[in-house]
Amino acid sequence: MISHASDVHVGRGADGKAPPKLRGDGLMVIKTESASALIYWNGKRYAWYQQGD
């Protein structure tokens, strides 16, 4: 399922840190009733921001 960007909220990560400030688009990867993550470009490489689990 693909969700519209305005339907997705990125909160504090699994480590308690605030979400990254994106320099462009990000890809939210979600497994229902489990963990989710944000894949994004940090200016040098693709990075992974873990949410939950």
Q: In this predicted model, what pLDDT tens digit does every residue of 5-16 receive, in sequence order?
A: 555 556 777 778
**Domain segments of the chain: what residues?**
24-53
Q: What is the pLDDT of residues 3-53, one digit of tens each?
A: 555 555 567 777 788 888 888 888 888 888 888 889 999 999 999 998 876
* Count of residues making up the chain: 53
What's the token pair of residue 7? 């339907």
What's the token pair of residue 39? 């894949």
CB 51 within 8 A of CB 36: yes
Q: What is the pTM of this model?
A: 0.69
